[in-house]
Amino acid sequence: MLGAAAERHRSGRASQALVPTMGALHSGHAALVDAARGANDVVVVSIFVNPLQFGEAADLQRYPRTLEADLDLLASAGADIVFAPAVQEVYPDGEPLVRISAGRLGETLEGASRPGHFDGALTVVAKLLHYALPALPADFRAYFGQKDAQQLALVRRMVADLDFPVEIVGVPIVRDADGLALSSRNRFLSPAEREAALVLSRSLHYLKGQADRHEPLDLNGALAMIGSVPLVELDYLEVVDPASLAPLAFNCQDTPFTGEALALAAARVGPVRLIDNVRLGAGQGPGAEPR
């Protein structure tokens, strides 16, 4: 460590980043660590499969756990500290009586299909932020993927509404070459299911093309694309305001698309629930777009 960074460490003003994950790491997680590595002196990565945010017991039980491979990936990605606590360390008295409420924003979209999910996710994010908070929090950042767009919006609201001393950084979605958003649960897809799952990114790409050309968004056409793939059971496809996640009906049907929006989709494909999204209009990040 040289020069300015060493001085920041000496004076206790080193910047610190937290990258919360549930393990089974892939290149999407590596992109979060890269972003954190590029802007902070110390990078902490947590690996914790949080029982509080799971609905179905089977989903929690079969969630992939690959700690050895995760540690290798994190060493290559340049993480400084890996925090992989046992459930008893995080919840020594069992499930907490008091938890963070995600409020109305936690009841739509993912929250409608996974009741309580965001209360559980925000509660553990709050705890992880407390664990990783530096003694002198001059520069404390936490990194989240834009793939979980509703989670990112809710974490931003939590730190704003509850005055957490941390900057939240959103990282663009990392996709496979064919457009599928990387996800730890993708490993449970059969080859046929994985091929079928591509309709999610394709339908979002279809909408993005219309938004780029300022045409009306053909939501019905996108729904029909998804409906034509028998292995894909659509949960929702919605166009919403990126910050409030409120539905943006005026942008659909016959009105040429203007402004900014987020198109979000979720579907069950075989044993897996998949989510994906794309920014429509101005202000898009540099990340890979669905195709």
Ligand X SMILES: CC(C)(CO)[C@@H](O)C(=O)[O-]
Judged by CB under 6 A, the chain residues 32 through 51 that form the site for ligand ATP are 32
Binding string, residues 74-113; x marks residues near ligand ATP by CB under 6 A: ----------------------------------------
Residue 217 is given by DSSP the state B
20 binds ligand X (CB under 6 A): yes
Is 29 considered catalytic here?
yes
> Among 75, 47, 80, which residue's Cα sits nearest to residue 63?
47
The token pair that represents 194 in the structure block: 């994985």
Q: Is 151 in the site for ligand X (CB under 6 A)?
A: yes
Q: Which does 265 bind (CB under 5 to 8 A by kind): ligand ATP, ligand X, ligand BAL, none?
A: none
Work out which of 40, 50, 108, 186 binds ligand X, going by CB under 6 A.
Answer: 50
What type of residue is 165?
P
Q: Is 24 annotated as a binding residue?
A: yes
Taking CB atoms, the residue at the shortest distance from ligand ATP is: 145
Q: Is 185 annotated as a binding residue?
A: yes
Q: Are 58 and 33 in contact (CB under 8 A)?
A: no
Indicate the SS3 state at residue 286: coil
Which residue in the set 41, 70, 139, 148 belongs to the binding site for ligand BAL (CB under 6 A)?
A: 148
Residues in CB range of 226: below 8 A, 6 or more apart: 199, 200, 203, 232, 234, 237, 265, 267
User: Does residue 29 have a known ligand-binding role?
Assistant: yes
Closest CA to 53 of 125, 148, 126, 121: 121
Cβ nearer to ligand ATP, comparing 139 with 148: 148
Please identify, using beta-carbon distances, which residue of 128 and 196 lies nearer to ligand X. Answer: 128
Q: Is 42 exposed, middle or buried (0-12, 13-18, 19+ CB in 10 A)?
A: buried
Q: Which residues contact 78 (CB under 8 A, 6 or more apart)?
A: 33, 34, 37, 43
Which is nearer to ligand ATP, 6 or 112 (by Cβ)?
A: 112
Based on the shown chain and the rule CB under 6 A, indicate whether residue 251 belongs to the binding site for ligand BAL.
no
In whole angstroms, how far apart are CA 176 and each of 17, 39, 76, 147, 187? Answer: 26, 25, 20, 13, 13
Exactly one of 15, 16, 40, 53 binds ligand BAL (CB under 6 A); that residue is 53
Helices (H) and strands (E) in the chain, counts: 10, 8
Which entry of 29, 117, 205, 214 is annotated as an active-site residue? 29
Beta-bridge partners for 16: 42, 140
**174 is an annotated ligand-binding site residue:** yes
- Among all residues, which ones are annotated catalytic? 29
Annotated binding site for (R)-pantoate: 53, 151
**Which chain residues interact with ligand ATP by CB under 6 A?**
21-22, 28-29, 31-32, 144-145, 147-148, 171, 173-174, 181-185
**Which chain residues interact with ligand BAL by CB under 6 A?**
53, 148
